[in-house]
Each structure stands twice: as structure tokens, then as C-alpha cells.
Amino acid sequence: DGGITQSPKYLFRKEGQNVTLSCEQNLNHDAMYWYRQDPGQGLRLIYYSQIVNDFQKGDIAEGYSVSREKKESFPLTVTSAQKNPTAFYLCASSIDRLRTGELFFGEGSRLTVL
Amino acid sequence: RKEVEQDPGPFNVPEGATVAFNCTYSNSASQSFFWYRQDCRKEPKLLMSVYSSGNEDGRFTAQLNRASQYISLLIRDSKLSDSATYLCVVNTRNQFYFGTGTSLTVIP
């Protein structure tokens, strides 16, 4: 079955540590996205990528980094510079950014900073 | 002004009731519209896309009013399993914008 796989599902981190969240898709989608969701708030865009080896900052990119070396993979690193990293992180993909198709989401990664 | 605004609720309705949610968007250039359902601590899942002509999927009906820039979702004959948060999502110039979600609880 095609879909998006995020790992780990739950992650605990000490302050000052970087952590990388994995996102893999086998939908052959060009566009991939990372969102952050906090309680009572809508999803906020961290980074997105339209094509391999290219990515753009979203609304809240500070303290995060990404790479897009393969079409299927779009990992997110939460760095120690991110001041409030505890959140629910969602990876999503769409067929491409020009055809306004819907977003498909992974199951999410819940990061807690201790 | 936010790109997408929704009444957060909560909406508490008895089983069998009809409930309607509205969502407004600020950009007249918005191109496509969706309703997603999100269960507690889970990822959002597409409920339905919204078309100008309106569309129906079983007990769910979605409508788009471009002149007034709002979309709606109507749920008929509510089931306990409909309890969730419903997210309005708008695509504007190839960027997705999310409402904060409307919480629905269906009560036995």
C-alpha cells in the first residue's frame, strides 16, 4: 500500500540535543511538507520541497533544517536552536504543487523535550 | 487577518442530529478547498474535497460559496464515530492553509 511513513512515533529529547525525524513516501509525489501542530492551533508550515535537492522555508523555519536528497525522503532535523520544540510534527506530500491535489499525511511524530 | 478561520466549537450534539460547520477564507485567489478529519492525537485524513457545485458523500455534504468566500460541511444523522476535529484546508497559490479546526462530540 502506498503511503507516508514517519518515524519515530514518539521521541524524547534533552534540551540542547538535535534530533532528526524521518519521513518516507512511496506515492511518487513530488511535493513534501513538514508541519508542526500545537494544542489548540492549526498546522504551521516549517519547510516544503517541490523537487529533489530543493526546499523552501515555511512560516516557522527557525531552528529546523531539512534535506531532500531523494524523492521519497524528506527528513527534518530539530536543532537545539529551536526554542520550544515540544510538539506534534506531521509530514505530508502532494502529487505536485501545481495541480492543487490534496495533502496526504504521515501518522506524525510526537517530540517531547525534557 | 488569518487566511482561514473556523469556529473552534466545541459542538456537542446528540446522536442523529444534523450539524453544520462553516469556514471562511480571506484570499479570493484560493484555488481548491478540502475538509479533513482529525482524531485525537492522530494525523488529519481527507474527508472530502469541496467543489463549486457542491458535493455529497453519504451523510456528508460540502459546499463552496466563492462570492462570500466560505465553505461549509453538513453532517446528517450524526454517529458517535463522527466525534473528531474537522479541519478546513484551503490551497492558495499552491500553498495549503489550515483552520484551527472545529471540535465535534456526538453524545449518545
Confidence of residue A98 (pLDDT cuts 50, 70, 90): low
Instruction: Give the minimum alpha-carbon distance from B76 to chain A in angstroms, rounded to a whole number.
Output: 24
**Cβ within 8 Å of residue B87, ≥6 positions away:** A42, A43, B6, B35, B36, B37, B38, B44, B98, B99, B101
Confidence of residue A41 (pLDDT cuts 50, 70, 90): confident
pLDDT at A1 over 70: no
> Which pLDDT belongs to residue A40?
76
A106/B101 touch (CB, cutoff 8 Å), yes or no: no
Best of B7, B32, B40, B98 to mutate (most A CBs within 10 Å, chain A): B98
Q: Using CB atoms and an 8 Å cut-off, which of residues 71-90 of chain A contact chain B?
A: 88, 90
Q: What type of residue sits at position B94?
A: N
B36-71 pLDDT, tens digit each = 999 998 999 999 999 888 899 999 999 999 999 999
- Judged on CB neighbours under 10 Å (0-12, 13-18, 19+), A56 is exposed
Confidence of residue A23 (pLDDT cuts 50, 70, 90): very high
Average pLDDT taken over every residue of chain A? 92
A43/B98 touch (CB, cutoff 8 Å), yes or no: yes
| Rounded-to-integer distance, Cα A97 and Cα A100, Å | 6
